[in-house]
Structure 1
Amino acid sequence: MDLILWRHAEAEIAPEGGDDLSRPLTKKGEKQAARMAAWLDRHLPEGTRVLVSPSVRTRETVAPLARKFKLRDELVPETSVADVLALLKWHPETGPQLKGHVLLVGHQPYLGQLVAQLLGMKEDTCPVRKGGVWWLRTRVRDGKAQTVLLTVACPELTSSSWDDRS
């Protein structure tokens, strides 16, 4: 299974006492989302399942990708890694029960914690920057799940001018 983790792009600051889930993207965030969506669209295979937090900023982040997606309450900002692994039907020894490619659009800190756990690192060692993508692949070797990092991409380095460089 390929697990692609996409952190929402830059969002407005919530007003004091405001609803965190209703924060929209900034103008910069809109540009970040468009750049990453274009990059992802070139690399994601058809049939990739797209699961998105119900927050406004994640929905606005995934919108330029122009693919069908499902909102999942398990991906709200305060969720846990255990909740995300349960959503993915992830078995501790054999890895994911789901096959194919899954794109999760969500939040820190759980995205970074998930990366760290799957790669066998300390929990706080993998911050995922706003608008960034981490692409992981899990396979079973000798009866045990093994996760490898395929790539990390950020909006600043995904413009077509960057991709065209030799």
Structure 2
Amino acid sequence: MELILWRHAEAETGGPGTPDAARELTEKGRRQARKMAEWLNRILPDDCRILSSPAMRTVQTVEALGRKFKTDRALATDASAEGILQAAGWPDAEGTVLVVGHQPTLGYVASLLVAGEEQEWHLRKGSICWIASKADDEGDMPYLKAVLGADLVNR
């Protein structure tokens, strides 16, 4: 299985009374999402399963891909690392799963898989962390396949 964690792109700060889940992407965030989506679309398999938090900024980020996706409450702003892993089907799901979500939870997921414990790993807005788990002669250990910021895409 391969799990791609995509942090939503830059969002508005929101004014008084604006629900957190309603915050939208800024113009910079829309550019970040488009750039990363272009890169991802070149390499994602056609059968990639795509899950998104229902928050507006994550939905707008994943919409840049132009692919079918499913929103899942388990990926919302109050999600847990274990909840995200369960929604993605880690480690038993087949193929590739792309999860579009939030900090600090995506950092917790990455650190849990790679380091074995939840730590404060920071994923920048619009960036991805690609983790794979494949059996080899060293065991079935997850490993970092790629970490890429939106600012490095298409350079």
Task: Tell me if both proteins adopt one fold, taking TM over 0.5 as the criterion.
Answer: yes
CA contact (8 A) 1:8 1:57 kept: yes
User: Which residue number corresponds to residue 142 of structure 2?
Assistant: 147
> So what's the TM-score if we normalise by structure 2?
0.93
Larger deviation: 62-71 or 81-90? 81-90
CA–CA separation in structure 2 for the residues paired with 1:113 and 1:35: 25
Query: Structure 2 matches for 1:7-156, cutoff 5 A?
Result: 7-90=7-90, 96-120=91-115, 123-141=118-136, 145-156=140-151
Q: Using the TM superposition, give the Cα deviation of residue 89 of structure 1 relative to its aligned residue in structure 2, in angstroms.
A: 3.1
Q: Give the match's secondary structure for 1:87.
A: helix
CA RMSD of aligned residues (A): 1.7
Give the Cα–Cα distance (whole angstroms) in 1 for the partners of residues 74 and 140 of structure 2: 23
Runs of 4+, deviation exceeding 6 Å = none
Question: Aligned-pair distance for 1:87?
Answer: 1.4
Deviations 1:80-135 (A, max 9, x none): 01111221333xxxxx1211000000001110000000001653342110000011
Displacement of 1:16 after TM fit? 2.5
Once residues 127 and 136 of structure 2 are traced to their aligned partners in structure 1, the CA distance between those partners, rounded to angstroms, is 29
Describe the superposition over 1:51-87 as per-residue Cα deviations: whole angstroms up to 9, x where unpaired: 0110110011011110000010100011101111221
Q: Which runs of 5+ in 1 are unaligned?
A: 91-95
Aligned partner of 2:63: which letter?
A: A
CA contact (8 A) 1:51 1:69 kept: yes
AA in 2 matched with 1:146 = M
Please list the CA deviations of residues 19-51 of structure 1 after superposition, one character each: whole Å capped at 9, or x if unmatched: 000000000000000000001001111100000
Q: Which has the larger radius of gyration?
A: 1
- Count of residue pairs the alignment pairs up: 155
CA distance in 2 between counterparts of 1:115 and 1:101 reads: 15
Unpaired runs of 5+ residues, structure 2, are: none
Partner of residue 93, structure 1? none
SS at match of 2:38: helix
Identical pairs, percent: 42
- For residues 140 and 64 of structure 1, the distance between their equivalents in structure 2, rounded to whole angstroms, comes to 33
Match of 1:150, SS state, is strand
